[in-house]
Amino acid sequence: MIKIKEFTAFYAKKQVLHNITANFNRKDITALIGPSGCGKTTLLKSINRTAELQQDFRAAGSIWLDGQDVYQLNDPAAVRRQAGMVLQKPIALPLSVKENILFGPRYYGVRDKAELDTVVTTTLTKVGLWNEVKDKLNSPASELSGGQLQRLSIGRILAVDPRVLLLDEPCSSLDIKSTQLIEKLLVELREHVTIVIVTHNLMQAKRIADQTIFMSAGRIIEYNATALLLEQPQNQITQEFLAF
Ligand SMILES: Nc1ncnc2c1ncn2[C@@H]1O[C@H](COP(=O)(O)OP(=O)(O)OP(=O)(O)O)[C@@H](O)[C@H]1O
C-alpha cells in the first residue's frame, strides 16, 4: 500500500505538486488522469524517488510504501527496486531478451544459474511472452515488436519482485491488440503488486482501474472509484475535463 501525506514538490522555484494526500490500496489499480502538465508524472516519479534525479527537484511531505516513509530512507535505490517504473516508450536494454529479464536480478547479486533460469521462465510466462520468445531468448531484445518490448519492460521490473508497479502512459505508443494484452496483464498482476498508472485514455482507466484520481494544476481535484469519478464527477473542474 502507498500512502501519501501532504506531499509538495518543486522544480527550482516552480511548485508542481500542492499538498497531495492519497492512499493507493494493495490489490488495486489506480489511474492518474488530468490535463497535460498537471503533475501526474512528477507524482509517479516521486513515489519511487526518481523525480529527485532532476537536480532542481525539491519535495516536502511523506510517502510511505508498506509503512516505511521512503523520504526517510538513505538509499533511494532500495526504493526504486520496490517500486519499478514503466515508461511511455518501451525500452530494450542493448542485450538479449533473456539478459533484459536478468539485468535486475544480476545487479542485485543473484548468481545461481538454476535460479536465474527460473526467473527467466517464470517472468516471461507471467508477462505472457514465453510462447512468443522461448526460441529467441538469446536474440537481441531490440528485435521484438513494440508491444512485446513493453511486456518485456514490465518483466524486467517484475524480475526483482517489486511491491509497486508505476506505469507512465505505457500503451500510448501501442496498437489496440498490444494495449489489450498489457491491460490483461495488469489486471492479473494486481493480485501481487500495487499498480499506479498514468493514462490519457479514459476508456483505459474505465476498463482496468479500481480507483481514479483526477489532477489539475498540481492538485488532486477528485478521487473516487473509477466508475463514479468518470460517470458522476462531483467537482466542476472534473466535469469540464471529462466533457471534452
Ligand atoms: N525537469 C523539469 N524541470 C522543470 N519543470 C518541469 C520538469 N519536469 C516537468 N516540469 C513541469 O512540471 C509540471 C508537471 O509536469 P509533469 O510531467 O509531472 O505533468 P504531467 O501531468 O505528467 O504531463 P503530461 O500529461 O504532459 O505528461 C509541468 O508544468 C512541467 O512543465
pLDDT digits (tens, 9 = 90+) for 32-47: 999 999 999 999 999 9
Q: Tell me the pLDDT band of 180, cut-offs 50, 70 and 90.
A: very high
Average pLDDT over residues 195-217: 97
Q: Where does 2-243 sit in CATH, by number? A: 3.40.50.300
Q: Quote the pLDDT of residue 84.
A: 96
Question: CA 89 → CA 57, 70, 111, 147, 150, distances in Å?
Answer: 23, 27, 30, 10, 8
pLDDT digits (tens, 9 = 90+) for 70-103: 999 999 999 999 999 999 999 899 999 999 999 9
CA of 54 relative to ligand 1 center, distance in Å? 12
Average pLDDT over residues 5-31: 96
pLDDT at 244 over 90: no
CA of 120 relative to ligand 1 center, distance in Å? 35
Q: Quote the pLDDT of residue 26.
A: 87
Average pLDDT over residues 61-77: 94
| Cβ atoms < 10 Å from Cβ of 37 | 12
User: How far is Cα 68 from Cα 20, in angstroms, rounded to an integer?
Assistant: 18
- Beta pairing partners, 20: 7
CA of 39 relative to ligand 1 center, distance in Å? 6
Average pLDDT over residues 148-158: 96
Query: Which residue's CA is minimally distant from atom 25 of ligand 1?
Result: 36
Average pLDDT over residues 140-149: 96
User: How far is Cα 148 from Cα 144, in angstroms, rounded to an integer?
Assistant: 6
Query: Which residue's CA is minimally distant from atom 18 of ligand 1?
Result: 39
Complex ipTM more than 0.95, yes or no:
yes
What residues does each domain of the chain span? Answer: 2-243
* Set of cell numbers at residue 41: 508524472
Q: Which atom of ligand 1 is nearest to the CA of 200?
A: 25
Q: Quote the pLDDT of residue 189.
A: 95
